[in-house]
Structure 1
Amino acid sequence: FLGAGAAHSKLGLNVEQNYERYKYWFRVTPVKDVDLARTLFAVLNSIGSQIRTDLKTDAPKVAILAEKAVWTEALVAAAQKNLPAMKMEVVGTWQPSATATDVTAELSAIDRSGAQIVFTMLSGPVGISVGRQMGERNMKAVAWGINVEGQKEEFWQAAAGKAQFVSTLDTYSEVEMTPKTIPFVRAFKERFKKAPTYNAATYDAIMILKAAIEQAGSTEADKLVPVIEKMEHVGTAGTDTWDKRHDLVWAVGRTAGIAVQWQDGKKVPFWPPDVKGMQPFKMPKQ
């Protein structure tokens, strides 16, 4: 069972705690929730460094904006704990509904707080409301984090062309994560008339299975497990290896994913900066 979609850590814990039963499961996309947080903080650190330089401030001010949902609870707690250690000031936490169509109250309060970064954890349509209304208010703060709606090609139009500078975690863009990434993204766009999202790495899962069957010379599950455990697979989304829990081994430039920012109607990739094809991250005019 090659998992392409769920991030919960429990899936890997099952393998560790009851190997004989769960050893047939491997994570392909995305990385586990704890590692998604590692990526979020790595990019946040990079944006924070840019703000320190550009705005000549020692401790960038961060507003946490997370939809009220079970999946954001651990991330909110991690942000509240880690940001001060990263020399950033948490000015407050706001939690609208995942389906909120108006976030005026939250954004007004964030504006008053003097926040320079809005750290988002949004999977629902509220992500569109946040992007549109931050633009309408000409907010000086820049949005970074998870915004699932912001990963979609339709986001700019849905946000009435006002989601300038909104940035989010993503998986695919025309950048050289591996030699296979750009050809895959172009072929996907050609065939489906839109860009792939993270679960398009289901393609990698199928290729991992194919490689394992060919190497083992068998389709027997018990013979495939040790082959995948030792495999290093160069896929379309990244380069995959697995730990004892059959979770992806997290590494920047390999499995940590990418970050993108909406600039003038285009989704522009900006992190990790040393990957070929990445472009500069932009800030709103101060």
Structure 2
Amino acid sequence: MANDGNQRGTDANEAANDLGSDRRTFLKATGLGATGVAAGLAGCTGPSDGDGGDGGGGGDGGGGEIPETIRVGALGPAEAPFGSSILNSAELAAQEINDNGGVGDKGATIEVTTGDTKDDPGTARQRYGEMTSGGDAAHVTTGIFGSEQLLALMGNIADKETVHLSTGAATPEAPAKLQDNYERFKYWFRAGPVNSTFLGDSLVQYAAERFEKMGWEKVAFVAEDFKWTEPVTQTIEDRLADEAGVEVTSVRRVAEGTEDFSPIYDQLESEDIDGCYTALAHIGNTSLVQWAKQKRPFGYGGIHVPTQLPSYYEATKGAAIATFSQTTATPTSEITEKTVPYANAYKENYDKFPVYSGYSTYDAVYMLKKAIEEAGSVNGDDLVTALEEMSHTGTSGQLEFYGADEEFPHDLKYGPELAQGVYFQWQADSEGEGVQEVIWPDELATTEYKSPPWV
């Protein structure tokens, strides 16, 4: 296939215009503010070494019995779907629990306080300090979408001795703090998603089980140059070729702010690849739109966070067709008996489906209920013990935490009998509407992978 570099550059500009006029229009269509995309679409932005400070003074981690009202603080960027899913799901779970007898023998009610972090570390610390201080301080907290925000709060969580279940950020640096100082940081747990170290394992497993049927014999890997993709890229370099039985023609890390993927795609075409395997979030929109507009002659997908949005197909005017991605769950994936009912209840209440952070937050609130009942109190140390021993069937799988002496203390366990997520592909239904069809694993698949219509 002949390439014209000038024409490709023109197509790249036209792609941005045709698929939503410009970046701001696209963000408005999907409900994502600029910060939501640039600072944390994957909940896995760059590292922060800060300890988080004291957040306005230490706390006592709650009392030694179940109060009549249990205060849960939920944190997330309210204007982005990855944040609103956190806040809404916490309230939805609380309402369900309250409507079904509350918590414990005396039926304690759950009261949710929400904090808009604006996906900014300083704002997140301020909101956290407000909701964990004073006479109405939260007994437990959940949420936090961006990894920068989570890492900035780790010291605050430790000082308050108040249990926090993370439900958006994927950084493995959080459990690393527990490895270094378990007693100080033990109040942190992750209810989802699985950390980014496991994402590389997932990509290799999917490739080993699906690439042959997909016709992907020659593959290039493209990752954004952010910290969360470092362990993913290393795994791809070390294992993909041997374990999936494919030729890996190249591995690229693309810089933040890249606006023209045409030179990259020209090179991939020259490598005669069958598929472009991805680990993209912050620059995923630009990459996908130009791939589709230019009708590049290879498949596209892997981990692509923007395409996880249930509104993404419509927002991109169908450009997402045939792209695929890993995610925690989809509205129709029956991971457990709780997955689809939760997604439908969310849509009934909020007129849209949740994204991955919503599933994890909904699970987190139910896990906190279970832990409080088991502990008989909201005391931080008591809840830590209850959560460490817990196995809970949630919307995203069988949820358990790694122990204090394991590699990722208090992180969500990853595996086929635990939490491993699904891979879906955007396909068009009989009316031309985009549908997130599950293509992996076998027991949850609703269809098979389809090549892009122009390939």
**TM-score of the pair, normalised by structure 2:** 0.58
Shift of residue 69, structure 1, vs aligned partner: 2.0
The aligned counterpart of 2:335 is 177
Q: Which letter maps to 1:42?
A: Q
Residues 99 and 196 of structure 1, relative CA distance in 2, 3 Å threshold: farther
**1:72-111 mapped onto 2 (5 Å cutoff):** 72-86=229-243, 87-111=245-269
Query: Equivalent of 1:231, from 390, 410, 422?
Result: 390
Q: Provide the secondary structure at the position in 2 that maps to 1:29.
A: coil
Say if 2:196 and 2:229, in contact at 8 Å, map to a contact too. Answer: no
Q: Provide the secondary structure at the position in 2 that maps to 1:239.
A: strand
Query: Equivalent of 2:440, from 268, 271, 286?
Result: 271
**1:34-45 mapped onto 2 (5 Å cutoff):** 34-45=197-208
Say if 2:200 and 2:233, in contact at 8 Å, map to a contact too. Answer: no
CA RMSD of aligned residues (A): 1.9
Measure, in 2, the Cα distance between the counterparts of 1:129 and 1:170: 20
Query: Equivalent of 1:119, from 274, 277, 282?
Result: 277
1:191-238 Cα offsets, whole Å, 9 max, x none, are: 222221121111111111111101111111111111111111111122
Measure, in 1, the Cα distance between the counterparts of 2:395 and 2:376: 24
Shift of residue 138, structure 1, vs aligned partner: 3.0
Q: Which letter maps to 1:123?
A: A
Say if 1:272 and 1:278, in contact at 8 Å, map to a contact too. Answer: no
**1:162-173 mapped onto 2 (5 Å cutoff):** 162-173=319-330
Q: Which letter maps to 2:443?
A: D
Measure, in 1, the Cα distance between the counterparts of 2:259 and 2:222: 15
The aligned counterpart of 2:451 is 283
Deviates more, 1:212-221 or 1:86-95: 86-95
Shift of residue 23, structure 1, vs aligned partner: 1.6
The aligned counterpart of 1:22 is 185
Query: Equivalent of 1:254, from 418, 443, 450?
Result: 418
Say if 2:201 and 2:235, in contact at 8 Å, map to a contact too. Answer: no
Unmatched tracts of structure 2, length 5 or more: 1-163, 404-408, 429-433
Say if 1:128 and 1:155, in contact at 8 Å, map to a contact too. Answer: no
Deviates more, 1:137-146 or 1:261-270: 137-146
Say if 2:427 and 2:435, in contact at 8 Å, map to a contact too. Answer: yes
Deviates more, 1:92-101 or 1:27-36: 92-101
1:235-256 Cα offsets, whole Å, 9 max, x none, are: 1122101111111221125311
Unmatched tracts of structure 1, length 5 or more: none
Shift of residue 81, structure 1, vs aligned partner: 1.7
Shift of residue 99, structure 1, vs aligned partner: 4.0
% same residue: 31
Q: Provide the secondary structure at the position in 2 that maps to 1:274.
A: helix
Measure, in 2, the Cα distance between the counterparts of 1:217 and 1:73: 42
Say if 1:253 and 1:272, in contact at 8 Å, map to a contact too. Answer: no
Q: Provide the secondary structure at the position in 1 that maps to 2:401.
A: coil
The aligned counterpart of 2:354 is 196
The aligned counterpart of 1:66 is 223
Measure, in 2, the Cα distance between the counterparts of 1:19 and 1:229: 13
Shift of residue 149, structure 1, vs aligned partner: 0.9
Say if 2:402 and 2:413, in contact at 8 Å, map to a contact too. Answer: yes
Instruction: State the aligned residue count.
Output: 278
Runs of 4+ with deviation above 4 angstroms? none
Shift of residue 98, structure 1, vs aligned partner: 4.1
